[in-house]
Structure 1
Amino acid sequence: MAELSDARADADAVRETVRAKYAAAARAAAAGASAPASCCGPAEVALTDAAGTQVFGDALYDADELAASGGALDASLGCGVPTAVADLHDGETVLDLGSGAGGDVFISAARVGPTGRAIGLDMTDEMLELARANAAQAGLANVEFVKGHIEAIPLPDASVDVVISNCVINLSGDKPQVMREVARVLRPGGRFAVSDVIADPGMDAATRADMAAWTGCIAGALTREEFEQALTDAGLGAIEIRETHRVHDQAAAAIIRAAKPARAT
């Protein structure tokens, strides 16, 4: 019982550290300042790699995606472009875990059309306020932003067709629970398509132990094998994990896709 209490306390500490960092990012964006160098402090992971290539943020999106986001990607702290691989269709319902200022939600809303729906889930009041203001300014009628945690998604069972996320799942203190929640809210045949960070198998203990690196998408990252196992244990299949670019000397950004089995006939 003591071990369970300690694990919950650790998860709560991680969540509060992440919340504070993203709240600061939202306040900076609302004030017209640049987003932080990455989702961590500049001492841990820079916005660009050693060659000067941007590995986090809005530069990963193309011009059409940036236009569809209505400027919301200015506050992006992501490591990829999940909407590029989600294969969205008219009329679908999409859920974005850790939706931030709403950029991926707005791109999704355009792709599912007026008969579809795009939902953003975030735990940070400042981000939700920014996202809702961005949605109002864009005049989007098929988007919604809800407050909650990705370990306890406040949506009914089998209520969404696609779950996307951009460099957020690795920030959770209970990733297997996130996968179980994803499987729960997906409809049979539903799809999971996220950008996230995967750790190298030999990530050193010092990096793992550095709490500040949790908000840099590094210390909390699963390895490829751990991510596959968590998805499998949650009942998801057709798993594909494809590295896109390095973000750290011990971690890489990747596209991770899976599917919920269709209901048996």
Structure 2
Amino acid sequence: MPQPSDTHDAVRTRYAQEARRSLDPSADPCCGGQATDPITIGLYEGTDTPSDSALAASLGCGNPTALAELSPGEDVLDLGSGGGLDVLLSARRVGPDGTAYGLDMTDEMLELAHRNRAEAGIDNAQFLRGTIEDVPMADGSVDVIISNCVINLSPDKDAVLAEAHRVLRPGGRFAVSDIVLLREIPDALRGIVGLWTGCVSGALLDAHYVDKLTTAGFTDPGVEVTRTFDRDELHRMSDMVDDQVPEGWTLAGIIDELDGAFASAFIRARKGA
């Protein structure tokens, strides 16, 4: 399994490339993005998004802002905010008396997010540089934590959930979209960096997600599957593997193994009052 620094570097490289593609449409389209990735496509109504560029750069697996039941005046933190789409949508929902924060470790994504915020003309959004394992915010800073297909990428999910619990106010809500495993997959597939940055082999079993939330101090944890993926979609995602097929495996064998093994889900929990 990749080491934490290796995983961070791989994720940062992949998402920096996608950000550069959005910042400069003439750049080499190295990554799929919304146009081709079955995991990311069709998650938002185009007329509801505050920035076309933010929508194009979205690499999520759900729409947490539509499920988090945000209220005016709340403060929200998006873990791994990328081009800022969910931050900007959250800023609209919480209104001028609330603030939406985005945290990302990739400089290019932060540059894109600042540009998208300016394009959308939204004032109550802020973007911070840092990792989701070490959030640069004080205890009890926000009412809601959201995230979109990012926590599965972390090599230290216990740290992520502990930090999420720390920065939430008493009674605060954890409401994220993520990829979950519905059954275990072989270690050989978890070691493929391309699958880590593609949101599959870094994912937790749904039951383990609940266990880790409980260990972090959350109450009422739950996982709701929102989308499963058929074999045709797995074939479309096969470029994630690239030339990293493990010895003794074939691409067809990997697809057979992943068929029915993972899903997009909405994960909820609360911090006790």
Question: Shorter-chain TM-score: what band?
Answer: 0.7 to 0.9
The RMSD of aligned alpha carbons is 1.8
Q: Shift of residue 239 of structure 1?
A: 1.2
Answer yes or no: is 1:92 the counterpart of 2:85: no
CA–CA distance in structure 1, aligned partners of residues 33 and 123 of structure 2: 31
Answer yes or no: is 1:29 the counterpart of 2:22: yes
* Other-structure match for 2:147: 165
* Other-structure match for 1:73: 55
Q: Shift of residue 200 of structure 1?
A: 2.6
Identity percentage over the alignment? Answer: 49
SS of the residue corresponding to residue 86 of structure 2 reads helix
SS of the residue corresponding to residue 60 of structure 1 reads coil
Q: Number of paired residues?
A: 241
- For the 8 Å contact 1:123–1:147, the answer to whether it is kept is yes
SS of the residue corresponding to residue 187 of structure 1 reads strand
- Residues 1:35 and 1:104: Cα distance change in structure 2 (over 3 Å): farther
- Unmatched runs of 5 consecutive residues or more in structure 1: 1-6, 40-45, 49-54
* Other-structure match for 1:12: 5
CA–CA distance in structure 2, aligned partners of residues 191 and 64 of structure 1: 27
CA–CA distance in structure 1, aligned partners of residues 141 and 56 of structure 2: 30
CA–CA distance in structure 2, aligned partners of residues 206 and 29 of structure 1: 33
Question: Deviation digits for residues 189-231 of structure 1, max 9, x if unmatched?
Answer: 0001010000132312222121211001011000011101110
* Other-structure match for 2:88: 106
Q: Shift of residue 32 of structure 1?
A: 2.2
2:267 alignment partner, one of 248, 256, 261: 256
What is the TM-score of this pair, normalised by structure 2? 0.84
SS of the residue corresponding to residue 166 of structure 2 reads helix
| Correspondences of 1:102-181 after superposition (within 5 Å) | 102-181=84-163
CA–CA distance in structure 2, aligned partners of residues 117 and 225 of structure 1: 32
Question: Deviation digits for residues 13-41 of structure 1, max 9, x if unmatched?
Answer: 101000000000000011126682259xx
1:61 alignment partner, one of 41, 44, 51: 44
Which stretches of structure 1, 4 residues or longer, exceed 6 Å deviation after superposition? none
- For the 8 Å contact 1:72–1:102, the answer to whether it is kept is yes
What is the TM-score of this pair, normalised by structure 1? 0.86
The 10-residue stretch of structure 1 (91-100 or 248-257) with the greater mean CA deviation from structure 2: 248-257
2:37 alignment partner, one of 22, 44, 47: 47
